Amino acid sequence: MEIRRANPSDLPQLKAISAASVSAAQWTPQQWLDIFHTQIPPRFTWIAEDRNAPVPGQGIGFLVAQNLGPDWELENVAVLGEFRRQGVGRALLSTLLAQARALQAERILLEVRASNQSAIRLYHGSGFQLLARRRNYYRNPDEDALILVHSL
């Protein structure tokens, strides 16, 4: 597996990975374009690729985050089902943490569905802690969001 900064030519892969993941944020076409074309605040997008896939360089996961100065926000993350529980999500989070530290961030925030226990375990294992709960934040189905924070 290799993790690298994504670029606009990766958009079809990023969209496909997101569409295949029930837990990923399902963005509009404009929101996808904005990750590369709107840089206030600065955004970082990484893609994880499997060198051993039938199609070399196949995208298997991604992570998108915003640099809001001392606070960063993890906006979207997804890993293809057949590659989950193989360290892809953890590697993407490690990449985010390293970049945020290098740019002197103080903390990273994220929101996750309260029912997404596998993601919550991953985040806790990477040092994120519960900060707050937003009642009925998500729709279809209605559900609380947990706000997690990682202090750097």
Reduced 3-state DSSP string for 97-135: HHHHHHCCCCEEEEEEECCCHHHHHHHHHCCCEEEEEEE
Overall pTM > 0.85: yes
Note the pLDDT tens digit of each residue in 7-40: 999 999 999 999 998 878 889 888 998 999 877 8
Strand bridging mode 71-79 / 107-113 = parallel
Average pLDDT over the chain, rounded to an integer: 92
Counting every residue, how long is the chain? 152
49 is known as an active-site residue: no
123, 137, 138, 143: which one is catalytic? Answer: 123
pLDDT for 100 beyond 80:
yes
pLDDT for 62 beyond 80:
yes
Confidence (pLDDT) at 51 = 82
Note the pLDDT tens digit of each residue in 70-80: 999 999 999 99
49, 73, 111, 138: which one is catalytic? Answer: 111
Cα(7)–Cα(10) distance, integer angstroms = 6
At 74, the amino acid letter reads L
Q: Is 2-107 in CATH node 3.40.630.30? A: yes
